[in-house]
Amino acid sequence: MQADAGWPMHGGVDNIRYSPLRAINKENVSRLQVAWTYDSGDAFPGSEMQSHPVVVDGTVYLTTPGMKVAAIDAATGQERWTFALAPPDAPRTRFRHRGVTVHRDRVFVTYRNFLYALDRGTGRPIATFGEDGRIDLREGLGRPVERATVSASTPGAIFDDMIIFGSSVPETLPGTPGHIRAFDVNTGELRWTFHTIPRPGEPGADTWPEGPTLSGGANAWAGITVDHTNAMVFAATGSASFDWYGVNRHGDNLYADSVLALDARTGKRVWHYQVIKHDIWDWDLPAAPSLVTVTREGKPVEAVAQITKHGYVFVLDRKTGTPLFPVEERSAPASDVDGERASPTQRHPLAPPPFVRQSLTEDMLTRRTPEAHAAVLAEFRRYRSGPLFTPPSLDGLIVFPGVDGGAEWGGAAFDPDTGLLYVNANEMPWLMRLIPNTDAALYGSKCASCHRSDRTGGPQAPSLVDIGKRMSRDEIAAVIRQGTGRMPAFPDMGAKNIGDVVDFLVTGKDQASDPAIANDPTRLKYRNDGEVLWRDPDGYPPIMPPWGTLSAIDLNTGTMRWQKPLGEYPELVAQGLKDTGSDNYGGPLVTAGGLLFIAATNFDRKLRAFDKLTGELAWETTLPFAGNATPSTYTLVANSTS
């Protein structure tokens, strides 16, 4: 009898989100029905769930919005056990967490700076792993533990008896380096480390200023891919800190924004390929590399496919890192911000073609209504907008593709039967402006137009003088994030910026007036005033559709097989505006049954199945909430469930 087929790891085998199952196919997909539903019971306003379920031996393992690990019977949806990672008195904070790693008798999961090993049967910590079942990820980074900030939103990957991790680290200074590390699955002992910010004397150190001890980032936050046959580890890294102003890190900044190939046993570098040099756009590589096999001159070639936020797919030889399609080194615009040195050139693959638009012009602005067009046009003319790699400025920059893509953390799916790579993408411009690195400048950029520079308020906004006597710091921060009354929300300001505005409002003092802060060597002259997802006055994207897409790219030929809008706004559909595409987060799943499944869309909350060859819609259903995670598929033969 055929054995059960599960979904053993985050991203699937080879990180290609492919299933060889054929039980659900184009002929019967229209008959899909809900088999069971599991309610974690811990959602709260503002929470989200990005966990990609892992299915092993008839059990589904995942993390919940309130940061519990849950084991669920894969046939019935009945809960087998849960383990609460967050302490009972922990504040209800949104976590972007993407699941667990299952290996032999244990489940590995991260929470903040800790990595836990749980017993698969009971969900209890395994006492022999680290200290009482957990290790502290802040240790071993070459920083004092109390000065290191590190977590991991994406599950680790297994090679032999090691679990290998990238990390999430702050994007401000002083930074924590995003080194890639392997830990013993039995004891938690550190087995090897690859320094993504090279230390003096290591290869790549010459692409940084001498002794870049204050720099951070260059982290593989999107996860790790393991090639067990070739004993190699592949990672895709993000930008270095600070994201938008790189005066502290002149040079190309290896190994930031790079595809890395490491020896899985030792962590030694095999090769690297840097996609963006001296990133000042927050264009982290958003997903772990996909291990693909493509055809060249009639022969199979093992390769790595890397999707990017700025809309490219880089296809690299898996053994050498050599691009399999031509890549052109083109001149890039210079920066006019004092101290900044943008890279004079950047890399552009000539194939496959970009899967999103890569520059924004006036003729692309929304025509949804005359009023929306006029408002958006006025805003457009207040900011710079130019070709790809136009640097940030004090005049403000329209970042397009935006800081959330193009492609995002949901990753790509690859069909080994056809050589097609499937990528869902956003087409949303973001607004960003460099301002002097003072709390007063930040307040002036975000608040003073309504509350006045002296904080005394006006006809449309209350006085903020002595606001600290009327509201707590947490309450002020919540209003900034969520908005209230006439005041818009500023969720994209970032935690540090919000914290600095709160300090300024409560104390009336600018941190820059403190000599200890002003003379801090990690303090930069400029900061950003927040990364703002640009919308028109009615809350819709400010450009002509599509606002989100799904693409099928032939990696054998480097051509686009098909592309279509992904997602809609139900209220616009009611007005006759269909097939616009929308924001989408979470990736696709492709099967041997001829189908591509994807949820991801934020506003219509649909789960869809497409014909993988043509892109024709084969089936759809509406979910209770947006499915911001990549689907998994499995079969249980004994129960005839799939």
Structural domains in the chain plus CATH codes? 438-523 (1.10.760.10)
- Report pLDDT for 308: 98
- Report pLDDT for 642: 43
165-216: pLDDT as tens digits: 999 998 888 889 999 999 999 999 999 999 999 999 999 999 999 854 567 8
What is the Cα–Cα distance from 291 to 227, expressed in whole angstroms? 8
Per-residue pLDDT at 549 exceeds 90? yes
- Report pLDDT for 3: 60
- Report pLDDT for 211: 59
Residue 526, judged by CB atoms within 10 A of its CB (0-12, 13-18, 19+), counts as buried
**CB contact set of 256 (below 8 Å; sequence gap of 6+):** 196, 197, 217, 218, 237, 238, 239, 240, 274, 276, 279
CA 477 to chain centre: 24
Please name the residue that has the structure tokens 């940061």: 67
63-78: pLDDT as tens digits: 999 999 999 999 999 9
Look at residues 435, 432, 437 and name the one whose alpha carbon lies nearest to residue 391. Answer: 432
352-399: pLDDT as tens digits: 999 999 999 999 999 999 999 999 999 999 999 999 999 999 999 999
pLDDT-above-90 percentage for the chain: 78
573: number of Cβ within 10 Å: 13
Check: CB of residue 506 under 8 Å from CB of residue 542.
Answer: no
Q: What is the mean pLDDT of residues 517-538?
A: 88
588-607: pLDDT as tens digits: 999 999 999 999 999 999 99
**CB contact set of 637 (below 8 Å; sequence gap of 6+):** 1, 2, 3, 4
Stretch (H or E) spanning 379:
helix 370-380
532: number of Cβ within 10 Å: 21
Per-residue pLDDT at 494 exceeds 80? no
Q: What is the mean pLDDT of residues 346-355?
A: 98
Q: What is the mean pLDDT of residues 548-575?
A: 98
* Number of residues written out for the chain: 642
Q: Which of 163-177, 515-529, 536-550 has the lowest mean pLDDT?
A: 515-529
Q: Which of 99-108, 141-150, 540-549 has the lowest mean pLDDT?
A: 141-150
- Report pLDDT for 639: 47
What is the Cα–Cα distance from 79 to 346, expressed in whole angstroms? 51
pLDDT band at residue 101 using 50, 70 and 90 as cut-offs: very high
455-476: pLDDT as tens digits: 888 776 889 988 988 988 888 8
pLDDT-above-70 percentage for the chain: 98
- Report pLDDT for 611: 98
> Rounded to the nearest 10 degrees, how much is the dihedral formed by the CA atoms of 248, 251, 255, 259?
130
- Report pLDDT for 1: 36
Count each helix (H run) and each strand (E run) in the chain, helices first: 7, 35
Q: Would you give the DSSP letter of residue 3?
A: P
239-295: pLDDT as tens digits: 999 999 999 999 999 999 999 999 999 999 999 999 999 999 999 999 999 999 999
38-69: pLDDT as tens digits: 999 999 988 989 999 999 999 999 999 999 99
- Report pLDDT for 638: 61
**CB contact set of 372 (below 8 Å; sequence gap of 6+):** 366, 536, 537, 538, 540, 542
Task: Tell me the DSSP string of 454-517.
Answer: TS--BTTB---TTGGGTS-HHHHHHHHHH-BTTBPP-GGG-HHHHHHHHHHHHH---GGGSHHH
CA 537 to chain centre: 27
What is the Cα–Cα distance from 386 to 245, expressed in whole angstroms? 18
CA 421 to chain centre: 19
Beta-strand relationship, 548-554 and 559-565: antiparallel
Per-residue pLDDT at 323 exceeds 80? yes
What is the Cα–Cα distance from 362 to 385, expressed in whole angstroms? 9
Residue 140, judged by CB atoms within 10 A of its CB (0-12, 13-18, 19+), counts as middle
Per-residue pLDDT at 125 exceeds 50? yes
Check: CB of residue 467 under 8 Å from CB of residue 506.
Answer: yes
What is the Cα–Cα distance from 642 to 310, expressed in whole angstroms? 37
The backbone torsions φ and ψ at residue 231, rounded to the nearest 5 degrees and listed phi first, read 55, 50
- Report pLDDT for 453: 81
333: number of Cβ within 10 Å: 15
**CB contact set of 529 (below 8 Å; sequence gap of 6+):** 432, 433, 434, 435, 441, 442, 445, 446, 493, 497
Please name the residue that has the structure tokens 């927040």: 530
Q: Which of 107-116, 129-138, 228-237, 503-512 has the lowest mean pLDDT?
A: 503-512
Predicted TM-score (pTM) of the model is 0.94
